[in-house]
Amino acid sequence: MSRPQCMAWGATAVVLLVSRAAGVAPLRLRRRPDGWLVTVSPYVYVYDVILFSFIVSVGVAGLILDLNAEPSRAVRMRTPTKRILWIADFGVVLLTALVGAYEGPFRMNSMIRYLNELQKINTIINIQSSASTEKKRTIVLVSIMFGFLLVTVLDIWTIMVDVIRYGRDRFIACLYMSFGYSYMAMIFLKSQFVVGALAVHSTLKNLNDVLETETIIQGAAFGINDNFAMNKKNRIYPSNISTNVNCISYSDYLKSHPNKKSHETVRRLALSFSNICYVVTSVTKCHENSLLLLIATFAIHLVIIPYYISLALQYSESQVEAVLLLLLWYGTHLMSLALLVEPCHWTLEELNRTHVLVSILTDSVSADELLSKELNEFFKHLALNKITFSPLGICTLARPLCATIMGILTTYLVIIFQFQTSADKADGF
């Protein structure tokens, strides 16, 4: 039985190539004139499992040695509070990377299937993604991943400088480099979900563009062109239609333009919409374990970093570099959370746009029974199929999630500050 395969290009191809190099995408990628041919490779999977088993073992060894070291020689766990925070921080990052590596074949097979399904939908509605848009998306994603890499390298360099300056255990510091590698693997896992969600958003946007065109045509036939132009601010209905069309009666329009193609177009769009809903479920199921661990990681970091900043500010010696690095990390984690949520929010906005377009088109063609019937079926698809990115049904990836996380962070920060001791203040960051 042949393995599933798909063509990838642009941002998706870049993310898969980088993920494969990092060990969280067991793939074989072959160059083709129109992109990269992607298939799952069992040999690469074996390498990934060995690699991350070794990295996690190194990280756990570092934790054990640091936990048993003298406070003056310890790198990260010099006080009881810091021990708890660092074990939670480091542990969830290692677990996320390990899950990403071990789930590689399942995630990549699922990703190949839903990318193929999205390509079929785009073929059915006869619209493909713009090359310029894909190029911009690639540049943005590469720039963001490179920025994360710079922050990680800067963090490792800062730790090594402090180890040398204060005479701490260098061997433990070297073992902790596994944290930097695991964190970058986690970023690549997040990028895999992001490109999948963006692909869903692009496909739904293409469907809405076709539906919008049909709405404009039918609106012109009814002589209600002004109504379609009024929402120009939200870019739902363009106003660049010839005013001569307004003079055409609906009966004359039907004689010169049989409505057969219109109802077939609406039927295809309705079926494509149902397929997109299925793809959203597939995307969520494909990445759900990684998504929950990613959200937990970002939440833990957003709690811990303000605590470390307060320690650095209370320390007797100046720790300006440490404060700046911590602020940079905080901004990085906020950006990571936003990147995780925004593609899902944009998809939900396109879903609202679909509802508006179908509603207006239904009102416009009430005289055409055949087209009205197809639109009623489309409305049933809208009512019965819900587009939500909800990993394991625990939470929904949308902007309200960010507000919820920030509220929870405030509560946990207050709790952590209650456990702050004089030893924590004297030790600094």
Long-range contacts of 158-162 (CB under 8 A, 24+ apart): 158/321, 158/322, 158/325, 159/75
Percent of the chain at pLDDT > 90 equals 36
Q: Per residue in 318-332, is it b (16+ CB within 10 Å) or e — as a string?
A: ebeebbebbeebbeb
- The answer on pLDDT for 428 being more than 60 is no
Q: What is the pLDDT of residue 421?
A: 58
Q: Are 93 and 179 in contact (CB under 8 A)?
A: yes
Burial code (b: 16+ CB inside 10 Å, e: under 16) for 291-308 equals bbbbbebbbbbbbbbbbb
Q: What is the pLDDT of residue 373?
A: 83
pLDDT at 383 (0 to 100): 83
**Is the pLDDT at 83 greater than 90, yes or no?**
no
Q: Residue range 20-32: average pLDDT?
A: 92
CA-nearest of 234, 249, 219, 228 to 366 is 219
Q: b or e along 124-136 (b: 16 or more beta carbons within 10 Å of the residue's beta carbon)? A: ebebebeeeebee
Q: Going by DSSP bridges, is the β-strand pair 35-40/5-8 parallel, antiparallel, or unpaired?
A: antiparallel
Q: Which residue has the higher pLDDT, 191 or 72?
A: 191
Sign of the C-alpha dihedral computed for residues 182, 171, 304 and 419 taken in this order: positive
pLDDT exceeds cutoff 90 at 344: yes
- Which positions ≥6 away from 258 have C-beta within 8 Å? none
Does the CA dihedral 349-117-278-259 come out positive or negative? Answer: positive
pLDDT digits (tens, 9 = 90+) for 2-18: 688 888 888 999 999 99
Res 69 pLDDT > 80: yes
Instruction: State the chain's maximal CA–CA distance in angstroms.
Output: 90
Q: pLDDT digit string (tens) for 283-314? A: 999 999 999 999 999 888 888 888 888 877 77
With 60 as the cut, is the pLDDT of residue 96 above it? Answer: yes
Task: Please give the residue that has the higher pLDDT: either 125 or 40.
Answer: 40
pLDDT digits (tens, 9 = 90+) for 238-282: 333 333 333 333 334 334 444 447 778 888 888 888 899 999 999
Q: Could you tell me the pTM of the whole model?
A: 0.84
Q: For residue 294, what pLDDT is reported? A: 93
Per-residue pLDDT of 193-247, as tens digits, reads 999 999 999 999 988 888 888 777 665 544 444 444 344 344 433 333 333 333 3
Angle at 61 between CA 55 and CA 63, to 5 degrees: 105
The reported pLDDT for the residue numbered 182 is 93
Q: Which residues pair with 122 in a beta bridge?
A: none
The mean pLDDT value for 314-332 works out to 78
Neighbours of 375 (CB within 10 A): 27
d(CA 381, CA 269): 10
pLDDT score for 376: 83
Residue 317 pLDDT? 60
Average pLDDT of the residues in 161-183: 89
Residue 417 pLDDT: 67
The pLDDT of residue 21: 92
The angle that helices 177-221 and 104-124 make with each other, rounded to 10 degrees, is: 20
Residue 319: its pLDDT value, please?
A: 66
What's the confidence (pLDDT) of residue 348?
92
Distances (CA, A) of 116 to 275, 282, 410: 12, 12, 43
Instruction: Name the token pair of 213.
Output: 């065109």
Terminal Cα-to-Cα distance of the chain (whole angstroms): 56
Strands of 5-8's sheet, edge to edge? 5-8, 35-40, 27-32
Q: How do the domains of the chain map onto residue ranges?
A: 5-123+132-427
Per-residue pLDDT tens over the stretch 100-155: 999 999 999 999 999 999 988 888 877 766 777 888 888 998 999 999 999 999 98
* Separation of alpha carbons 22 and 101, rounded Å: 10
Q: Average model confidence (pLDDT) for the chain?
A: 82
Q: What is the rounded CA–CA span in Å between residue 21 and residue 27? A: 10
